[in-house]
């Protein structure tokens, strides 16, 4: 059904659709968009994070005969929020909508959402699962629903905006507003709306539209443990990221966990297995470095994640070499400070900080910057 009277079809609407392994969803989604929006006045920009199932090629195939379909294929970068930002900055349309490509978001809501923003009824039109008339039945399992409600409560406390669903991935607003905020957006995580609401100087006026979240048509959910962690990271970035850079905070947190791994392995080998201390210490050091490399690759550098056995091995060797240099800097700085009258605890702390900064700088450049 087409809703011509609800909005000005010639106003220009770009629908931004981040994708990852969504090949089977693309053609049916384009059909639904055409049925809702008509033959012109809009474009669909798919931002694909280098899918392995041929999603980008499928979009290119369709774009060859349909100028309303566009593709941005990203290499070495991942993340829903950053993909949406790139798509928004790549269009000349005055209005933009962000939605998922998995058919959980109903395109039929677009005309009334666009009309509300066009007529200045609101700054942001948000499709909500939790407002009267909507539901979250498309979420897989009660745990996902409870987790979503908890995330919404946390998000409201950060943005100060009263919304039933600030974590919605389906919203529409003027493109120039987003572009104006783009330099202040972190692009971290999987929900751009939270970032936009928190970055605005003055609270944005929001209107919610009831959305019945449908099951995915094809593929699997991208909401894994790492993405849930990214949500917490996005909250940190919005609250404290200007004080301590978010990626460095993650790197340091992983390092602290690595200390616990080191001590656990050392205790197991030296005390329980009665191994020689030097052998136990060497094994514990290697175990901690390997653990830190794995966790940093999975979380801290998720957007530059190293894949493939050969690249992983080279990256691991580079990380171990970096840590060895950082350890030397740590010991050298702490020894120098202690020898010059600085209290041993303060000297040790200074050495740890120097070693951490060194490891972070070198790892970012020579490990994930090269092999990511």
Query: Is pLDDT above 80 for 179?
Result: yes
Q: What are the residues whose beta carbons fall under 8 Å from the beta carbon of 53, sequence distance 6 or more?
A: 21, 22, 23
Which of 15-19, 45-49, 166-170 shows the lowest per-residue confidence on average (mean pLDDT)?
166-170
Rg (CA), the chain: 24
Instruction: Say whether pTM exceeds 0.85.
Output: no
Question: According to the model, what pLDDT value does residue 106 have?
Answer: 92
Per the CB < 8 A criterion, the answer to whether 12 and 41 are in contact is: yes
Element holding 372 (H helix, E strand): none
CATH T-level assignment (fold) for domain 4-240: Spore Coat Polysaccharide Biosynthesis Protein SpsA; Chain A (3.90.550)
**The residue count for the chain:** 372
Average pLDDT, the chain: 81
Query: Is pLDDT above 50 for 6?
Result: no
Read off the pLDDT band of 260 (50, 70, 90).
confident
Summarised one tens digit per residue, pLDDT across range 89-119 is 999 999 999 999 998 899 999 999 999 999 9
Question: CA-CA distance, 278 to 260, in Å (whole number)?
Answer: 18
3-state helix, strand, coil split of the chain in percent (to 5) is 60, 10, 30
How far apart, in Å, are the Cα atoms of 230 and each of 25, 47, 168? 25, 19, 15
Q: Which residue has the higher pLDDT, 266 or 205?
A: 205
Six-digit token string for 138: 């498309």
φ, ψ of residue 124 to 5 degrees: the values are: -135, 130
Q: Which residue has tokens 């910057």? A: 369
Question: CA-CA distance, 82 to 62, in Å (whole number)?
Answer: 24
Question: According to the model, what pLDDT value does residue 161 have?
Answer: 65
Cβ neighbours around 157 below 10 Å, total = 11
Read off the pLDDT band of 142 (50, 70, 90).
low
Q: Which residue has tokens 């972190």? A: 186
Coil, helix or strand at residue 73: strand
Summarised one tens digit per residue, pLDDT across range 202-241 is 888 989 999 987 766 665 555 545 555 666 666 677 666 6
Indicate the pairing of strand 69-73 with strand 124-128: unpaired
Distance of CA 92 to the CA centre of its chain: 25
Which of 147-151, 295-299, 306-310 shows the lowest per-residue confidence on average (mean pLDDT)?
147-151
């Amino acid at each position: 059904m087409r809703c011509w009277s609800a909005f000005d079809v010639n106003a220009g609407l770009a629908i931004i659709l981040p994708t990852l392994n969504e090949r089977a969803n693309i053609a049916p989604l384009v059909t639904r968009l055409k049925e809702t929006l008509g033959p012109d006045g809009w474009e669909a920009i798919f931002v694909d994070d280098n899918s392995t199932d041929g999603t980008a090629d499928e979009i290119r195939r369709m774009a060859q005969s349909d100028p309303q379909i566009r593709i941005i294929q990203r290499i070495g970068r991942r993340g829903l929020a950053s993909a949406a930002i790139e798509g928004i900055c790549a269009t000349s349309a005055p209005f933009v909508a962000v939605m998922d490509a998995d058919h959980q978001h109903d395109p039929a809501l677009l005309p009334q959402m666009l009309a509300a923003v066009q007529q200045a009824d609101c700054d942001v039109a948000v499709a909500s699962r939790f407002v009267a008339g909507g539901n979250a039945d498309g979420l897989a399992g009660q745990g996902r629903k409870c987790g979503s409600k908890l995330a919404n409560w946390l998000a409201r406390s950060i943005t100060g905006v009263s919304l039933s669903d600030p974590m919605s991935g389906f919203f529409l607003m003027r493109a120039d507003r987003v572009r104006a905020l783009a330099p202040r957006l972190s692009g971290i995580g999987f929900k751009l709306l939270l970032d936009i609401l928190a970055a605005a100087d003055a609270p944005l006026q929001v209107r919610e539209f009831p959305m019945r979240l449908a099951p995915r048509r094809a593929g699997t959910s991208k909401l894994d443990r790492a993405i849930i962690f990214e949500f917490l990271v996005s909250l940190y970035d919005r609250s404290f990221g200007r004080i301590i850079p978010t990626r460095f905070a993650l790197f340091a947190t992983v390092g602290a966990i690595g200390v616990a791994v080191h001590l656990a392995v050392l205790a197991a080998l030296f005390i329980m297995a009665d191994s020689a201390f030097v052998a136990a210490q060497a094994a514990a050091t290697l175990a901690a470095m390997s653990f830190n490399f794995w966790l940093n690759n999975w979380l801290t550098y998720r957007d530059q994640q190293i894949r493939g056995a050969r690249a992983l091995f080279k990256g691991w060797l580079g990380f171990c070499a970096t840590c060895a240099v950082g350890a030397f800097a740590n010991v050298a700085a702490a020894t120098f400070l202690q020898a010059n009258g600085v209290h041993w605890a303060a000297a040790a702390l200074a050495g740890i900080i120097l070693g951490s900064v060194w490891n972070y700088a070198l790892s970012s450049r020579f490990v994930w910057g090269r092999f990511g």
